[in-house]
Amino acid sequence: MDKTYYALIITPHPDDAELGIGGTVAGWTKSGREVVYIVCTNGDKGTDDMETPPEMLAKTREEEQLAAARILGVNEVQFLRHPDQGLEDTHEFRKQIVRFIRSYRPEIVATTDLSSPNIIHRDHRITGQVVLDAVYPFARNRPAYPDLIREGLEPHLVPEILLWATSNPNYYVNITQTYEQKMTALRCHSSQVINFFREGEEFFRERHEEMAAGKGYQLAEAFRRIIMTW
């Protein structure tokens, strides 16, 4: 690929990226950096409405994701279309992620944190584990996938990983100037908005204010950051 890709955002469901890293993504794209989304599931179970056919919901959520990505300045979205609640830590899924990492060769890979003291959605946990395994050792190890080498997809060492929804943050990004853009993107997920804003939009602002406490700015997103040095 001719472009230089700054970040690969690997998200379990449509909407998770906006929730976890939307303000940071908006800042990156405003500065001219290329960001790509990889959406692992189709979100076809993201409702309590038994009258909505799963295939219709999946189509709706894909459209919502594309709209949200455009607002954040993300021009490329790849949909893997695994079934919601159906992700497994398999050779095939891991190889999909390795293929994207070797194809785009990003400076940063961002995904959800699989470690939490609370119960988290299984798709999040599986995504986090598969992405970390894909980054190391598989994406950087030449013998891991000889067929990818034959396709011209050489190993790639990802320098930096950002994990959102973490209980152990060590890295904070100022999103004061991009917070409203993040919220506008979130509202694109209209099939999910009632769940997002059940406690009111002020809940979101307060959470981001807490992340920024003592840092000299108003609003932040928090991550567990891993720098790869080997």
pLDDT digits (tens, 9 = 90+) for 152-204: 999 999 999 999 999 999 999 999 999 999 999 999 998 877 666 666 678 88
DSSP per residue, 57-93: HHHHHHHHHHHHHHHTT--EEEEEEEPTT-----HHH
| 17-38 confidence digits (pLDDT tens) | 999 999 999 999 999 999 999 9
H or E element in which residue 42 lies:
none
**Which CATH number applies to 5-227?**
3.40.50.10320
| 74-130 confidence digits (pLDDT tens) | 999 999 999 988 999 999 999 999 999 999 999 999 999 987 767 788 999 999 999
Q: How far is CA 92 from CA 37, 75, 119, 130, 187, in A?
A: 19, 26, 26, 10, 33
Structure pTM?
0.93
143-147, long-range: CB within 8 Å, 24+ apart, which pairs? 144/98, 145/95, 145/98
pLDDT at 48 > cutoff 60: no
At 202 the pLDDT is 84
